[in-house]
Amino acid sequence: MKLITFALLILPTIFCEDENIQNDFLEWKNRFNKTYKNVEETEKAYKNFKFNKKIIDAGNEKFIKGEAYFHQSLNKFSDQLLHQRKRAMRGVATVTTGQSMMSGRSFGPPIKMTILKPGTFESAPLVWDWRRHNGVTPVKDQGYFCSGCWAFSGLGALESQYKKNYGKEYNFSEQQLIDCNRHEITGNWGCDGGNQASAYNYIGINGIELAETYPYKEELPHDDAYSCGFNSSRAVGQLSGYYRIRPGNETFLKEVVYYYGPVSFAFNGLLPTFAYYESGIYDDPNCVDGLSHSALIVGFGRVNIGGRIIDYWICKNSWSTDWGEDGYFKMVMGKNMCGLTRYLIAPKID
């Protein structure tokens, strides 16, 4: 009966479709509370679902054969194609007026930026996870419509510094950065993307409120949406500078993460294999350098798979806890996977 009802909701051309695919779509639709406005929208979602399921099934065949070390699954993005997913997956913006992402110039004198170089710290252990050492706050959800990963990643690192250093678990306001840190010089454009360096410079000058007093709205980007409601009397968070980590050296990055704390980073997050990641160690040779998404490195580990030793990064995403490993993903270490080492930054709060 469910199958007949579904078939009647969309165009008759799919009556001959595989019943298993149709049932999979119905189950997925109910699980993620998906609703569509009309028959045309339902059919489009179904076609996208079929297309994405083929990608997932092909990837999982490699996983079963031992040719891949990560598993994929249907998730909230499974009715979307790449151009539809870009709002959630493309949020890293470079500046447009000659300023570099290294500078992070904002509204006022820039705060101190220090470049961390190899030799700053001693060697790191093989395994470390800041989640087990009071250094990570809960996973958040940036939603579908706002390319605000730069704000979530950057503030995630700041929240970690407050938690590990002072035992304070703050939930800072991404919406404040999205609304108030917009300017052609900074390269931050709210829900159209931004970068953490200029966000840190803004916080160093102005401070940051909690999400409780300045809540996240997840609005589609348009000029009228960005009305800055910041009130300095409500600011709780502050920073005195930030660190840029010399790119290209993952051994040194381990040392920074271990001795200093979680590090915000940008990488290529546009591949379908990443969108549908469920578990395991992400390692896709097609994921080349190209900044599009931001996340937070919170640790690293090592595992033996079939006699092969694999080192990996533990990363916190901003796509809610129903994505990946409860909102986290592991990424292979030693390959600069997806350009992971190209843009690394951490806030300084003392």
Sequential pLDDT tens for the chain (350 residues): 444 344 445 444 444 457 889 999 999 999 999 999 999 999 999 999 999 999 999 999 999 999 999 999 999 999 988 776 665 555 565 533 333 333 333 445 678 999 999 999 999 999 999 999 999 999 999 998 888 999 999 999 999 999 999 999 999 999 999 999 877 666 688 888 899 999 999 999 999 999 999 999 987 655 555 689 999 999 999 999 999 999 999 999 999 999 999 999 999 999 999 999 999 999 999 998 889 999 999 999 999 999 999 999 999 999 999 999 999 999 999 999 999 999 999 999 98
At residue 103, the pLDDT reads: 35
Are the CB atoms for 164 and 108 separated by under 8 Å?
no
| Residues designated as active site | 149, 293, 317
Residue 22, judged by CB atoms within 10 A of its CB (0-12, 13-18, 19+), counts as buried
At residue 108, the pLDDT reads: 57
C-alpha distance from residue 86 to each of 191, 243, 319, 324 (Å): 11, 28, 13, 18
Among candidates 41, 293, 260, which has minimal Cα distance to 150? 293
What phi and psi, each to the nearest 5 degrees, are found at residue 79?
Answer: -105, 15
C-alpha distance from residue 31 to each of 5, 25, 34, 35 (Å): 18, 10, 8, 11
Tell me the chain's radius of gyration from C-alpha atoms.
21
CA atoms within 13 A on the CB side of 340: 25
b or e along 128-147 (b: 16 or more beta carbons within 10 Å of the residue's beta carbon)?
bebeeeebbbebbbbbeebb
How far apart (Å, rounded) are the C-alpha atoms in residues 208 and 157?
Answer: 13
- Helix (H) / strand (E) element for 201: namely helix 196-206
DSSP sequence for 67-109: S-SEEE---TTTT--HHHHHHHH--B---SSS--TTT--BSBS
How far apart (Å, rounded) are the C-alpha atoms in residues 15 and 236?
Answer: 58
Looking at the chain, the number of H-run helices and the number of E-run strands are 9, 10
Query: Taking the model in full, what pTM does it have?
Result: 0.90
* Matching residue, tokens 């080192």: 311
What phi and psi, each to the nearest 5 degrees, are found at residue 31?
Answer: -60, -40
CB neighbour list of residue 58: distance below 8 Å, 6 or more residues apart: none
DSSP sequence for 19-83: HHHHHHHHHHHHHTT---SSHHHHHHHHHHHHHHHHHHHHHHHHHHTTS-SEEE---TTTT--HH
Helix or strand or coil: residue 203?
A: helix
- Helix (H) / strand (E) element for 8: namely helix 2-9
Q: Both tokens of residue 308?
A: 């092969």
